[in-house]
Amino acid sequence: MPTQIVLPVRVARAEAGRSLTRACLAGLLTSLLLGVALFPTGAVAAPGDGAATKAYIQANYRLVEAAVSRIHPIEAALHGVLSDVRGECPMAAAGSPQDADSEQLSNEVIGALVIAVVALDRTAGREFASAARGLTWSNRALTRTIHAYVGKVTTLIGLAPPTLCSDVKSWAASAFIALPASTISFAPRFMSAWVAPGDLPAALAPYETPEDRQLARRTSRLEERFSELEAREVETWGQIMDTLALWP
């Protein structure tokens, strides 16, 4: 009789144990699956991820804010490039072909505009690079993405303005056969580093606090204002190209 009572109890306890184990395993699997959804394959959040994310989002915000706070000076600088071309080298590329060389000079026109903007406040770029270049995450791909962006910002703030009119005139003097060395040096380097102010990779999201997300949203709104400026100033680029009689 005691045996008949004890065995069912043992069986019940064993079954309960198995059920508990299954529940624990299910919970563990759910947690792992959520982790896969939130973090890239092979990445596990480390204690320093949150601190790096906060530092980067704050540095990125300051960079974007500095750019947007200078919208009117930026517009003046861009129009200044147009004014210089109108005064120094109108129709300098008249009769030129539309080929790989004209594309390089078209890129130099873009570079002249961008570097005119960068020159208004190189300090903001330097401060951003200083704050962000040493940050690392357990997600190595994210670290590489951030460091690549910082590298491009660093390159941009180190570029001197191109000698646009002189370069176009030199190309014309060669009967549009040979680009000057200054264009060959500047245009590819600029294009490989050309980025807008502000970059918030999606891979930062798992490490963000509510405060970080709020600042990221503010940054995104500022980026929209800068994008609107860029869209407006496409016309300035077109006017410079028309003034030079240059085809991209």
pLDDT tens, residue order, the chain (248 aa): 332 323 333 333 334 444 433 444 344 333 333 333 344 444 456 779 999 999 999 999 999 999 999 999 999 999 999 999 999 999 999 999 999 999 999 999 999 999 999 999 999 999 999 999 999 999 999 999 999 999 999 999 999 999 999 999 999 999 999 999 999 999 999 999 999 999 999 999 999 999 999 999 999 999 999 999 999 999 999 999 999 999 99
Mean per-residue pLDDT over the chain, rounded: 87
Q: Are residues 111 and 32 in the same domain?
A: no
C-alpha 69/C-alpha 50 separation (Å) is 28
Q: Is-above-0.85 flag for pTM?
A: no
Q: Are residues 88 and 190 in the same domain?
A: yes
Record the tokens describing residue 82, joined without a space: 């147009």
C-alpha 114/C-alpha 151 separation (Å) is 16
Q: What are phi and psi of 233, to 5 degrees?
A: -85, 0
- Please count the other Cβ atoms lying within 10 Å of the Cβ belonging to residue 78: 22
Q: What are phi and psi of 82, to 5 degrees?
A: -60, -45
- Please count the other Cβ atoms lying within 10 Å of the Cβ belonging to residue 59: 19
Which amino acid is residue 183, in one-letter code?
T
C-alpha 124/C-alpha 66 separation (Å) is 7
**Number of independent structural domains in the chain:** 2
Q: Are residues 144 and 122 in the same domain?
A: yes
Find the domain containing 91 and state its range.
45-244
Q: Are residues 31 and 64 in the same domain?
A: no
Q: Are residues 177 and 208 in the same domain?
A: yes
Residue 47: what pLDDT? Answer: 77
